Amino acid sequence: MACAGAIRSLLAMSEVFLERDFKAYEKHRQDDPEYNALRLSVRRKLKAMVDALVKECKPLGTDLSAQAGLHHPYTFNAYRVREQRAYACRGAKERKKLATFFGDALGKDAETHYIQTVLEACIDDQLVEAALRVHPQAWWDGENLKKKVLNDAARLEEFCQLLRALPPGFNLKLHDWKKDHWCASAKPIEVKEMFTHYTPGNHWLHVQRQLPKEDAVAMGPEAEAWVRASLIALLPIYRFILWDPS
């Protein structure tokens, strides 16, 4: 009975952020294989949150596929695990549709799960983050959004309304630029100006909400609810951005 109770306690803690989770991504530990097991446990927490998002979105008419990033030093992360990510992207059927439309030359990128617009849960040594990100190479979505914002005043206003409807704390950010555009006060003239500097193919685009590690730890299980609620809130913007070849 005691053993069963311990197992239940561990399961209950599986999606709670702990102080040690953040330590695995401190600079001096990012390339340390001894922290692979801890990072794997964090990866599983984030993946469980995104799996739940996928299930929640399906009856809402949005088909998503869940993926998670590397938890160990490897060539793809320059042998440093700076943060841990799990994300949802287009489902396999929709990615295949893109790949078929673009053909052999571009289809491989279009079908790749991370070269997409994604809904992402992320943790590093300081923050938990919930975000929508348009990958630089997902230029089909980036161009779709840029054309809507720059060429159609009604769609620009619609986009700003979607930004303002997000819960408090979200910001719109271009690539690694320092300037934040707070979504709660998004104004068409300012958003349009930002998009004149956005080059799909070169720049990331982020709509993100951040939770400091102290708050994430103190919130206990509610931090997981914060992540999932934040990602669900981004769903209308995700739909607005996606380009469909049909």
| d(C-alpha 238, C-alpha 50), whole Å | 15
User: Is 246 among the domain residues?
Assistant: no
pLDDT at 81 over 50: yes
User: Is 129 among the domain residues?
Assistant: yes
Domain CATH code at residue 47: 3.30.930.20
User: Is 26 among the domain residues?
Assistant: yes
Indicate the number of domains in the chain.
Answer: 1
User: Is 216 among the domain residues?
Assistant: yes
pLDDT tens sequence across 45-62:
999 999 999 999 999 999
User: Is 56 among the domain residues?
Assistant: yes
| d(C-alpha 36, C-alpha 42), whole Å | 10
User: Is 231 among the domain residues?
Assistant: yes
Question: Who's near 183: CB < 8 A, 6+ residues apart?
Answer: 163, 164, 166, 170, 171, 172, 207
User: Is 68 among the domain residues?
Assistant: yes
User: Is 148 among the domain residues?
Assistant: yes
Q: At 76, is the pLDDT very low, low, confident or very high (cuts 50, 70, 90)?
A: confident
Cα 93 to chain center, whole Å?
A: 20
Long-range contact set of residues 222-226: C-beta below 8 Å, sequence gap at least 24: 223/16, 223/17, 223/128, 224/15, 224/16, 224/17, 224/45, 224/49, 226/128, 226/130
Cα 180 to chain center, whole Å?
A: 17
Q: At 104, is the pLDDT very low, low, confident or very high (cuts 50, 70, 90)?
A: confident
Query: pTM for the complete prediction?
Result: 0.92
Long-range contact set of residues 221-229: C-beta below 8 Å, sequence gap at least 24: 221/12, 221/15, 221/16, 223/16, 223/17, 223/128, 224/15, 224/16, 224/17, 224/45, 224/49, 226/128, 226/130, 227/49, 227/121, 227/128, 227/130, 228/49, 228/52, 228/53, 228/56, 229/167
Give the range of the structural domain holding residue 30, as residue numbers without chain letter: 2-241
Residues 89-111, mean pLDDT to the nearest whole number: 92
pLDDT on residue 7: 38
